[in-house]
């Protein structure tokens, strides 16, 4: 793969390609991958480099004038997002979590994926602005192709999974008229058996003579013809502000659901309100998944709950695949109680005297209680010994093929243990309880939006001003799901979670809800230009040759983590662009043949 640094090319260059892709995250790289071996010359422009740098990360800074803004929410964000991404800071990203690096946010993601269900595509009377222009069935072939890209096992996310697992009788569960089993998969790396999929490192190993990747290449403007009706080119800048121009027949914006609208709004040469914004829709309908804790299981119940709701593995085409079990409200319950789609999943909580936490605090000289931290370390030699052994396993002494076969065997035999190893990078931890975590769809709301700030980034571009409006119904939906899980657990005689007070007392506004690094909706899809920025083929209304990829096109966002659906849509878009560009190339060659 040709990866070049824009800063090393001549200044003020003009770079030509057939198709230019803005952003080298999962969406952009999936589209580029689909063109490998085709006659179309593809150029990927990535703002970051092969590893994260502070200067590139600064370009992700946003101004937030909406939620989350309470002290408790900010604490939870720092705990949650700070643990997820080392480059993230609350100060620079008071809303959202993104990485500026080749591979985008897959640099920090958790690799948890699932497909939306058919309800998510339907027009639901109780969810305003719901309904996609196509059905789940029409997207299924692309979800299957996306699963191959993500190195997944079979696309099975509902109770069919039990038969895939080979169980004749699934474990007795709640009334399916109320609650349904839901499964997520973990996307595993092809390069490192102990890691999850990272798009950047995987992509650079591909052999792709017709694809060129330019890093430190930040797009600052999208240009059109004089009428503003067709894509013409892009302005791209190094981190030091040295500009070049890119000319191409078509462009895909794949820069994330914050940057896609930011770029469209900032491109005002032919349309003063920005491109694709004739109906003031760009940046509106900003959505995220609302995440919160709903309750917890007592330590004594952890083994049984770990078995039921923990991780399962199946072997498929020579590889062990990890699935995780949670609960969603049935379609009937959603309709009856006007609920948003949402899910509960179980997350191990580690004890305060977890020896590895204590070591980290002691080493960082930020221990509040050094004596008890030292005691925690001294009293867990077994756990620490295991940590040392696992670190040795991570070293380069053992060949990757050997490690992969051992990891596959461990996943098959002990999926819960294996996932704990993925999450902790092999450091063993002491379990305190199992938290019941919730994730909910947010209702589309035109007032929840991204506009441009008066503040500018290092390249002179206005930063995004984010006014994220939470959603009372998302809070209510998760509380109801928690209540149903508790009553159904008692009815079928399995351990029931202890619900948090805000859930029991239905004080929905007191729950501590945060954004989940799953921004969506800001260039929403509709075939009616007065309802959406892109049409069902992800083409920007009114600007020929300009397409959008990523969750910004989602009209609604389900509860499932978005990346599998982002990839399904990106794969579908690649097919579409091949058709559109093929037609253009045909017309041009006919014109040449006719001597025009």
Ligand X SMILES: Cc1cc2nc3c(=O)[nH]c(=O)nc-3n(C[C@H](O)[C@H](O)[C@H](O)COP(=O)(O)OP(=O)(O)OC[C@H]3O[C@@H](n4cnc5c(N)ncnc54)[C@H](O)[C@@H]3O)c2cc1C
Question: For 494-500, which contacts have Cβ atoms below 8 Å and span 24 or more sequence positions?
Answer: 494/304, 494/308, 495/297, 495/298, 495/301, 495/304, 495/305, 497/294, 497/295, 497/296, 497/297, 497/436, 498/295, 498/296, 498/297, 498/298, 499/294, 499/295, 499/436, 500/293, 500/294, 500/295, 500/296
Quick check: 380 binds ligand X (CB under 6 A)?
no
Give min distance, CB of 99 to ligand X, in A. 6
Quick check: 152 binds ligand X (CB under 6 A)?
no
Query: In a 3-state reduction of DSSP, which class is residue 510?
Result: helix
Give min distance, CB of 375 to ligand X, in A. 33
Comparing CB distances to ligand X, the nearer of 101 and 546 is: 101
Closest CA to 120 of 131, 104, 107: 131
Give min distance, CB of 550 to ligand X, in A. 3
Among 19, 32, 108, 553, binds ligand X (CB under 6 A): 108
Give min distance, CB of 415 to ligand X, in A. 17
> What is the Cα–Cα distance from 175 to 317, expressed in whole angstroms?
34
Comparing CB distances to ligand X, the nearer of 149 and 561 is: 561
In this structure, are strands 342-350 and 431-440 parallel, antiparallel, or unpaired? antiparallel
Question: For 362-366, which contacts have Cβ atoms below 8 Å and span 24 or more sequence positions?
Answer: none
Query: In a 3-state reduction of DSSP, which class is residue 428?
Result: coil
Among 33, 76, 77, 112, binds ligand X (CB under 6 A): 112
How many beta carbons lie within 10 A of that of residue 137, not counting itself? 9
Give min distance, CB of 2 to ligand X, in A. 17
> What is the Cα–Cα distance from 519 to 496, expressed in whole angstroms?
32
Closest CA to 21 of 47, 42, 52, 50: 42
Closest CA to 376 of 408, 354, 392, 399: 354
Quick check: 15 binds ligand X (CB under 6 A)?
no
Comparing CB distances to ligand X, the nearer of 26 and 428 is: 26
Torsion of CA 175, 176, 177, 181, to 10 degrees: 120
Binding-site size for ligand X (CB under 6 A) equals: 41
Stretch of residues binding ligand X (CB under 6 A), selected from 4-12, 93-101, 267-275, 473-481: 93-101
Among 15, 517, 525, 546, binds ligand X (CB under 6 A): 517
How many beta carbons lie within 10 A of that of residue 154, not counting itself? 16
User: Which x/- pattern over 566-595 shows residues binding ligand X (rule: CB under 6 A)?
Assistant: x-----------------------------
Chain centroid to CA 128: how far? 24
Cis? peptide before 68, omega within 30° of 0: yes
Stretch of residues binding ligand X (CB under 6 A), selected from 208-216, 292-300, 439-447, 558-566: 558-566
C-alpha dihedral sign at 198, 565, 45, 88? negative
Quick check: 558 binds ligand X (CB under 6 A)?
no
Give min distance, CB of 585 to ligand X, in A. 26
In DSSP terms, which residues pair with 372 in a beta bridge?
none
CB 83 within 8 A of CB 349: no
Kindly give, in sequence order, each residue whose CB lies less than 8 Å from that of residue 340, ignoring residues fewer than 6 positions away.
127, 334, 440, 441, 442, 443, 471, 473, 474, 477, 559
Among 486, 556, 563, 571, binds ligand X (CB under 6 A): 563
Give min distance, CB of 568 to ligand X, in A. 12
Comparing CB distances to ligand X, the nearer of 239 and 376 is: 239
Among 70, 84, 228, 529, binds ligand X (CB under 6 A): 84
Comparing CB distances to ligand X, the nearer of 348 and 373 is: 348
Among 106, 244, 328, 341, binds ligand X (CB under 6 A): 106
Residue 325: exposed, middle, or buried by beta-carbon count in 10 A (0-12, 13-18, 19+)?
A: buried
- Residues within window 233-292 making contact with ligand X, judged by CB under 6 A: 254-256, 259, 263
Stretch of residues binding ligand X (CB under 6 A), selected from 414-422, 475-483, 562-570, 584-592: 562-570
Give min distance, CB of 552 to ligand X, in A. 8
Q: At what angle do helices 26-34 and 136-149 cross, to 10 degrees?
A: 90
Among 98, 124, 325, 429, binds ligand X (CB under 6 A): 98
Quick check: 218 binds ligand X (CB under 6 A)?
yes
Quick check: 104 binds ligand X (CB under 6 A)?
yes
Give min distance, CB of 85 to ligand X, in A. 5
Quick check: 330 binds ligand X (CB under 6 A)?
no
Comparing CB distances to ligand X, the nearer of 100 and 180 is: 100
Comparing CB distances to ligand X, the nearer of 219 and 568 is: 219
> What is the Cα–Cα distance from 275 to 277, expressed in whole angstroms?
5
Among 15, 45, 275, 568, binds ligand X (CB under 6 A): 45
In degrees rounded to 5, what are phi and psi of residue 593? Answer: -65, -35
> What is the Cα–Cα distance from 413 to 213, expressed in whole angstroms?
41
Stretch of residues binding ligand X (CB under 6 A), selected from 334-342, 364-372, 373-381, 560-568: 560-568
Quick check: 57 binds ligand X (CB under 6 A)?
no
Among 539, 561, 568, 572, binds ligand X (CB under 6 A): 561
Chain residue at closest Cβ approach to ligand X: 25
Among 113, 411, 512, 553, binds ligand X (CB under 6 A): 113
Tokens of 91: 């100060």
CA distances from 349 to 124, 298, 306 (A): 36, 11, 12
The residues of the shown chain that bind ligand X, judged by CB under 6 A, are 22-28, 45-48, 84-85, 97-98, 100-101, 104-106, 108-113, 218-219, 254-256, 259, 263, 517-518, 550-551, 561-563, 566
């Amino acid at each position: 793969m040709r990866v070049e640094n824009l800063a090393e090319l001549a200044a003020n260059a003009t770079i030509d390609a057939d198709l230019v892709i803005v952003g080298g995250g999962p969406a952009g790289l999936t589209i580029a991958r689909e063109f490998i071996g085709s006659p179309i010359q593809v150029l990927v422009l990535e703002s970051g480099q092969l590893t994260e740098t502070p200067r590139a990360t600064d370009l992700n800074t946003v101004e937030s004038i909406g939620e989350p803004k309470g002290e408790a929410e900010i604490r939870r964000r720092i705990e949650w997002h700070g643990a997820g991404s080392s480059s993230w800071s609350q100060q620079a990203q008071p809303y959202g979590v993104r990485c500026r690096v080749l591979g985008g946010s897959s640099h920090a993601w958790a690799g948890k994926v699932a497909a939306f269900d058919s309800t998510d595509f339907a027009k639901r009377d109780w969810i305003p602005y719901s309904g996609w222009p196509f059905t789940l069935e029409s997207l299924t072939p692309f979800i299957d192709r996306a699963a191959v890209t993500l190195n997944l096992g079979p696309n099975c996310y509902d109770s069919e999974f039990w038969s895939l697992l080979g169980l004749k009788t699934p474990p007795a569960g709640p009334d399916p008229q109320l609650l349904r089993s839901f499964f997520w998969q973990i996307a595993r790396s092809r390069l490192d058996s102990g890691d999850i999929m990272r798009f950047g490192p995987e992509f650079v190993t591909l052999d792709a003579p017709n694809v060129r990747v330019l890093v430190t290449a930040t797009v600052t403007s999208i240009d059109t013809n004089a009428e503003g009706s067709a894509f013409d080119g892009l302005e791209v800048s190094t981190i030091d502000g040295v500009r070049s121009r890119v000319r191409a027949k078509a462009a895909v914006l794949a820069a994330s659901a914050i940057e896609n609208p930011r770029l469209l709004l900032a491109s005002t040469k032919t349309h003063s309100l920005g491109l694709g914004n004739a109906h003031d829709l760009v940046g509106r309908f900003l959505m995220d998944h609302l995440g919160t804790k709903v309750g917890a299981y007592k330590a004594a119940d952890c083994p049984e709950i770990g078995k039921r709701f923990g991780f399962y593995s199946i072997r498929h085409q020579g590889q062990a695949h990890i699935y995780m079990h949670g609960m969603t409200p049935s379609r009937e319950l959603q309709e009856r109680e006007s609920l948003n789609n949402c899910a509960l999943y179980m997350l191990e909580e580690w004890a305060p005297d977890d020896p590895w936490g204590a070591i980290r605090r002691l080493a960082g000289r930020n221990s509040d209680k050094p004596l008890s931290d030292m005691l925690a370390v001294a009293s867990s030699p077994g756990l620490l010994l295991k940590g040392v052994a696992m670190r040795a396993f991570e070293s380069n002494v053992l060949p990757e093929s050997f490690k992969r076969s051992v990891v596959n065997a461990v996943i098959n035999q002990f999926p819960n243990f294996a996932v704990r190893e993925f999450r902790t990078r092999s450091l063993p931890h002491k379990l305190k309880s199992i938290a019941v975590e919730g994730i909910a769809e947010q209702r589309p709301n035109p007032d929840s939006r991204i506009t441009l700030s008066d503040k500018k980034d290092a390249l002179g571009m206005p930063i995004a001003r984010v006014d994220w409006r939470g959603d009372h119904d998302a809070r209510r939906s998760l509380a109801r799901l928690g209540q149903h899980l508790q009553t159904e657990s008692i009815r079928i005689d399995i351990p029931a979670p202890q619900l948090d007070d805000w859930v029991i007392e239905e004080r929905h506004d007191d729950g501590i809800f945060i954004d989940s690094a799953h921004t969506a909706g800001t260039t929403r899809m509709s075939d009616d230009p007065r309802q959406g920025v892109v049409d069902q083929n992800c083409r920007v209304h009114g600007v020929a040759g300009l397409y959008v990829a990523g969750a910004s096109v989602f009209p609604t966002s389900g509860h499932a983590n978005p990346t599998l659906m982002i990839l399904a849509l990106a794969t579908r878009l690649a097919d579409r662009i091949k058709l559109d560009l093929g037609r253009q190339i045909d017309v041009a060659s006919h014109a040449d043949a006719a001597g025009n």
